[in-house]
């Protein structure tokens, strides 16, 4: 149906999340219509991003520097850490402009079925951070799915000996995923946080 290099491009695009066969075809045909330089920039930016973006060594948010901009910002509150599952949750919370503390990205949720235990996540570095620094509050902002709940309770139990632990007030739609919540809802969820029991 497609000439071979085009078929390959469509096949690769289709592997991206949220891209079905039709979207992949539309994107591929669009790319072929663009000027050569523009396609070159797109291809190069894919490679550059993959090569240059790693994890902040403090909070594990995506960063091109060893320490991310949020951790390096002296105007942010050092005594509060918001724990999230993925970097995209940091981005969602930053958009609310309500939160002025720091973050910690654990990198997923505990899911024994998928072979993800606590040791596969950035939980030990979090415990180290909280036990070694003066932290007044840890706010856990992990979606309340079954795995998210397990992860929240697990982290809460580890951190409680060192600091106050709260969780944000979910009641969010779509299984409560942070990235799907609008900024106002998310700001309210943060505002309405409560003690983790
Ligand atoms: Zn950081």
How many angstroms is it from 159 CA to the middle of ligand 1? Answer: 19
Per the DSSP assignment, residues forming a β-bridge with 54 are 63
CATH superfamily of 4-52: RecR Domain 1 (1.10.8.420)
CATH of domain 67-195: 3.40.1360.10
How many angstroms is it from 3 CA to the middle of ligand 1? Answer: 45
Angle at 17 between CA 115 and CA 45, to 5 degrees: 110
- Mean pLDDT of the 90-97 span: 93
How many angstroms is it from 24 CA to the middle of ligand 1? Answer: 34
Token pair listed for 108:
């997923």
How many angstroms is it from 117 CA to the middle of ligand 1? Answer: 23
Task: Determine what percent of the chain is predicted with pLDDT higher than 90.
Answer: 80
95: enclosing H helix or E strand:
helix 87-96
Contact 135, 129 (CB under 8 A): yes
How many angstroms is it from 179 CA to the middle of ligand 1? Answer: 19
Token pair listed for 52:
């240059």
* pTM greater than 0.75 (yes/no): yes
User: What pLDDT, in 10s, does the model give residues 157-195?
Assistant: 999 999 999 999 876 554 557 776 778 888 888 888 888
Local structure of residue 139 (DSSP, 8 states): E
How many angstroms is it from 31 CA to the middle of ligand 1? Answer: 35
How many angstroms is it from 60 CA to the middle of ligand 1? Answer: 6
- Locate the domains of the chain by residue range: 4-52, 67-195
User: What pLDDT, in 10s, does the model give residues 95-150?
Assistant: 989 899 999 999 999 999 999 999 999 999 999 999 999 999 999 999 888 899 99
Angle at 67 between CA 62 and CA 73, to 5 degrees: 105
One fold for 4-52 and 67-195: no
């Amino acid at each position: 149906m497609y000439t071979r290099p085009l078929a390959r491009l469509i096949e690769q695009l289709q592997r991206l999340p949220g891209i079905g066969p039709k979207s992949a075809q539309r994107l591929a045909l669009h790319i072929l219509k663009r000027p050569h330089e523009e396609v070159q920039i797109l291809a190069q930016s894919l490679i550059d991003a993959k090569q240059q973006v790693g994890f902040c060594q403090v909070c594990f948010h995506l960063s091109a520097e060893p320490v991310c901009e949020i951790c390096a910002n002296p105007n942010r509150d050092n005594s509060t850490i918001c724990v999230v599952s993925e970097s995209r949750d940091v981005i969602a919370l930053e958009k609310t402009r309500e939160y002025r503390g720091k973050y910690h990205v654990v990198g997923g949720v505990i899911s024994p079925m998928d072979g993800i235990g606590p040791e596969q996540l950035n939980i030990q570095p979090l415990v180290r951070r909280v036990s070694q620094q003066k932290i007044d509050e840890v706010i856990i902002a992990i979606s309340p799915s079954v795995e998210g709940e397990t992860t929240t309770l697990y982290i809460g139990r580890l951190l409680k000996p060192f600091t106050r632990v709260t969780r944000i007030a979910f009641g969010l739609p779509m299984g409560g995923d942070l990235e799907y919540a609008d900024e106002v809802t998310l700001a309210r969820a943060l505002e309405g946080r409560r003690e983790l029991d």
